[in-house]
Chains A and B, each alone.
Chain A
Amino acid sequence: MKKYTFFLQVLGFLLGILIGTVLVLGALGVNGCKRSEVDSSQQIKFFEATNFSEWITTYKVNILNPLLINVDKKFSAGVVRSWQPLLKLETLVNERESRSYCIIYRFPAYNGDVTGKKDLKNNDLGELKVVAVTSNDDCDKHLYSKSNNHISGITVLNIWLTDYEQKRFLEKELKPFHLYIMGEVIAQSSKKGMPFALAFPLQNMKKGNVLNLPLSAYPREKFFPSVPRKLLSGVTFLQLELELESQLRPRQ
């Protein structure tokens, strides 16, 4: 009977570990995969919704990497896994204050197709993040700043910025004074690509307010409108304000 004692001890111990492992794996593994897929689409929705309200008041755009903007091909010029600033948007917050946003991209480890690739880590895929800075701040200083306003798991990315003219890209009509972020993200577990296309209207952008736009120079027009040409001429937008209930004024 003595020789069974040790065996039963080990069996009981292993049983406990097994139950624990199954539960932990169940929590982290199966549900984790589902969550990752849900998060990709939610992350994109969150990115779009957050930036839509803030970027709508953009009045000036500085293209920090002209080789990567308005290019038909996907990003391939960067050093793998390196962070690079792409754009700096200057927005109006209110009548006194401006705020800038740096759009920064980390190039993925693979330039080719990642479908079927095993052992993909977070760092292997591209990531687009947005960092709010002051107008005088340099985006290069914020390459490694943390931001919750991001899209991770990017395999393909294209950014298009239009000035006053309508453009065409991949059979799509690009409206004037818009910022387009298009691409594909991949869920780590399923490794299935999920395309996305986001359009951000830049309401306060005036003609010619894009610095370093790699497009052909536009000629001066014979007849201008009486106010500078914009998405909605004659109207300047300030950012959406949320007032606390206690501060709400009675409406007359």
Chain B
Amino acid sequence: MKLKLLNLSITPKITQKIVQKITRLNSFSWRRVLVATITGLFLFLSAFYVYFQFQNKKIITLKQNVSLLEKKILEQSLTMVFTEAAKIVRERWEGGDLEGHWEKGLLNCPEEIMPANNEGKIVSDLYLRCNPNYLQCYYSGKAGVRDSRIDIRFRGRLFKVVVQNIFPAVNAYSPMQRYYSIVALPHYELHHGVMLSLSTVEYPQYSMKIILEDSCHNTFLPEGVYYSWSNHDRDIYVDKYLVSNRDVWEWVIYSGKWKKIPGINKEFFPYPATNLTVKEMQQYCEFRGKQLMESNVYDAASIYREESEGREDREGREEKEVEVIPDLMAVDVEGTEGTEGTEGAPASLYPWCRENSDAFLYTGIPRRELGKYLTRENCQLVYSYECAQLFKYQPYSNTSTSWMGMNQILGGYPEYLQNSASPRENLKLSSFYLGINSPWHALTKRAYWKGPEVKVGRDLFTALYNQKLPTDIIPLDNALDKGVTDDDELERWLAVGFRCMKTVNVVNKITNKVTNKVTNKVTNKVVNKDGA
């Protein structure tokens, strides 16, 4: 049809030639060539499309990977920064008021710590060490340091680390959100810790929590044989100081056992807690992952060890010498002579000397020479009744220290000790209730205390009443000054302190090691067999 149409418009000769050529071309099958070319082009485009898609996907994946990698590297860097910052936080935690701002009156947070103009100079700075209330003060800028941020330079970049106040407010302190919280991680064997949250000014969306352990108020009892027992199978840590009102208040707040938190004057925070029953003392120690101090451990921690090993040679002599000490103010709750806490006499009855004869108390001090002996130094060894008239009691002070760092073991507050072997010897009576010449001012001496909830013998309280107790050293209204003489009333006013200890069994560890060794051997054998 096409050819016929062409014939109509073009001259016949030319038309014929064209038609012939076209016919040839047609027979040459241009269509097939065209199809091949289109196929090639299609393949080209397909390949190009695949290539493009692949490249595009690769770029996206690479971009994602790069941004994920950058994020991970940032997180790694921040982790390192927080680790470095944690070292500085720990320094503050363990060092407390390093600048001495408390004494200078620059500590301005009475809701946490009493100001220096009142009791600050009396209470040792040691009180502020490992004290979360001080951290609250410090990081809220009330401890005399305005900028508590920590500068950490890492890989040439400066990070400003801040401690966040993200923890719920405790109204017993103040309505402000807190910089710390008290936590326990039983699965990690951490029963009491102070949790802080660190963040940076640069990346506030990232934070890391750290938990600080109390490394200031414990001391380790070395492995050894102590009288009739040894601690080969356990590690023992004992409290350096008596448990304070601050500690007990924290327990009351964070244990959640009390519906209503009793109010307390912050001035009494550093002083030993004395108004607790034995059960409450036990509960407190459990809250801290510890137990009440045991009588035998107390003796082991207070009697000079080298001498204690040779005690048998001295036993008889010590017994006789103790008997001849003039009993100027001996008191006993049961109305009998005081008994010694452990079987046999120790090497030295006084923690500051290795021989009894070296102690100024040993032979008794004549009344006319009392003034000569009642020096500040001697009162730091035994804070007796007379000392309480001359010098203020210093809680958290490294005084009357034992050979392994346990403080206030003679004088000061009477102290309750758990004694399962001899339950009627549970009180270290050496205290400010007794005169300097009292034979109770010696190690291993124990009296019997039934606890504040139980009626105590009148004799003790009569003796105490006659002494006119110094009111400024007992952090409660003094009943005796009020003229209370009834036993039921009086029994509550004997201020008995306590401390805790922690025992870690090492038997399990040894068993594990043995098991591991056996397992290794077995594994070796199995492998050898397999190899063979």
Please, which residues of chain B bring their CB within 8 A of the CB of A214? 520
Q: Give the interface segment out of A122-130, A153-161, A201-209.
A: A201-209
A170 at the interface (CB under 8 A from B): no
Nearest chain-B residue to A26 (Cβ)?
A: B51
Which single member of A35, A98, A240 contacts B187 (CB below 8 Å)?
Answer: A98
Q: A92-B188, A249-B166 are in contact. Are A19 and B79 (CB under 8 A)?
A: no
Q: Give the interface segment out of B8-16, B199-207, B334-342, B445-453.
A: B199-207
Q: How many chain A residues touch the partner (CB < 8 A)?
A: 76
Please, which residues of chain B bring their CB within 8 A of the CB of A236? 185, 188, 190, 193, 210-213
Please, which residues of chain B bring their CB within 8 A of the CB of A95? 183, 185, 195, 209, 211
Mark each residue of chain B from 491 to 532: 1 if its CB lies under 8 Å from any CB of chain A, else 0. Answer: 000000000000000100100110011011001100100000
Using a CB–CB cutoff of 8 Å, the interface residues on chain A facing chain B are 1-2, 4-6, 8-17, 19-21, 23-24, 26-28, 31, 35, 42, 45-46, 48-50, 52-53, 56, 59, 66-67, 77, 92, 94-95, 98, 201, 203-204, 208, 211-214, 217, 220, 222-227, 232-245, 248-249, 251-252
Please, which residues of chain B bring their CB within 8 A of the CB of A5? 28-29, 32-33
Please, which residues of chain A bring their CB within 8 A of the CB of B68? 46
CB distance from B397 to the nearest CB of A (A): 18
Which single member of A23, A26, A233, A240 contacts B208 (CB below 8 Å)?
Answer: A240
- Contact B27–A2 (Cβ < 8 Å): yes
Q: What would 15 A/B residue contacts be, using CB atoms closer than 8 Å?
A: A5-B28, A46-B68, A48-B76, A53-B75, A95-B185, A95-B211, A212-B520, A235-B213, A236-B190, A236-B212, A240-B206, A241-B208, A243-B205, A243-B207, A249-B164
CB distance from B153 to the nearest CB of A (A): 19
A245 to B206, CA, bound (A): 10
A224 to B361, CA, bound (A): 33
Q: A15-B40, A42-B69, A223-B222 are in contact. Are A234 and B87 (CB under 8 A)?
A: no
- Contact B36–A226 (Cβ < 8 Å): no
- Contact A237–B208 (Cβ < 8 Å): yes
8 A-B pairs with least C-beta separation: A16-B40, A20-B47, A49-B72, A16-B43, A12-B36, A9-B36, A226-B218, A236-B211
- Contact B212–A19 (Cβ < 8 Å): no
- Contact B65–A227 (Cβ < 8 Å): no
- Contact B516–A212 (Cβ < 8 Å): yes
Please, which residues of chain B bring their CB within 8 A of the CB of A26? 51
A244 to B94, CA, bound (A): 33
- Contact A242–B204 (Cβ < 8 Å): no
Mark each residue of chain B from 117 to 145: 1 if its CB lies under 8 Å from any CB of chain A, else 0. Answer: 00000000000000000000000000000
Which single member of A10, A46, A213, A223 contacts B72 (CB below 8 Å)?
Answer: A46
Within 8 A of A (CB), among B73-105: 73, 75-76, 78-79, 82-83, 86-87, 89-90, 93-94
Q: A46-B69, A227-B218 are in contact. Are A66 and B75 (CB under 8 A)?
A: no
Nearest chain-B residue to A49 (Cβ)?
A: B72
Please, which residues of chain A bring their CB within 8 A of the CB of B32? 5-6, 9
- Contact A226–B48 (Cβ < 8 Å): no
- Contact B79–A234 (Cβ < 8 Å): no
Please, which residues of chain A bring their CB within 8 A of the CB of B47? 19-21, 23-24
- Contact A52–B76 (Cβ < 8 Å): yes
Mark each residue of chain B from 23 to 64: 1 if its CB lies under 8 Å from any CB of chain A, else 0. Answer: 010011100110111011111101110110011001000000
- Contact B222–A222 (Cβ < 8 Å): yes
CB distance from A80 to the nearest CB of B (A): 14
Q: A217-B513, A227-B215, A236-B210 are in contact. Are A12 and B50 (CB under 8 A)?
A: no
Nearest chain-A residue to B89 (Cβ)?
A: A235
A201 to B516, CA, bound (A): 24
- Contact A235–B210 (Cβ < 8 Å): yes
A117 to B509, CA, bound (A): 48
- Contact B43–A20 (Cβ < 8 Å): yes
A54 to B44, CA, bound (A): 49
Please, which residues of chain A bring their CB within 8 A of the CB of B251? none
Which single member of B36, B86, B205, B523 contacts A67 (CB below 8 Å)?
Answer: B523
Please, which residues of chain B bring their CB within 8 A of the CB of A77? 527
- Contact B48–A23 (Cβ < 8 Å): yes
CB distance from A76 to the nearest CB of B (A): 11
Residue from A46, A235, A237, A238 having most chain B Cβ neighbours under 10 A: A235
B467 at the interface (CB under 8 A from A): no
A8 to B164, CA, bound (A): 78
Nearest chain-A residue to B240 (Cβ)?
A: A226
- Contact A224–B162 (Cβ < 8 Å): no
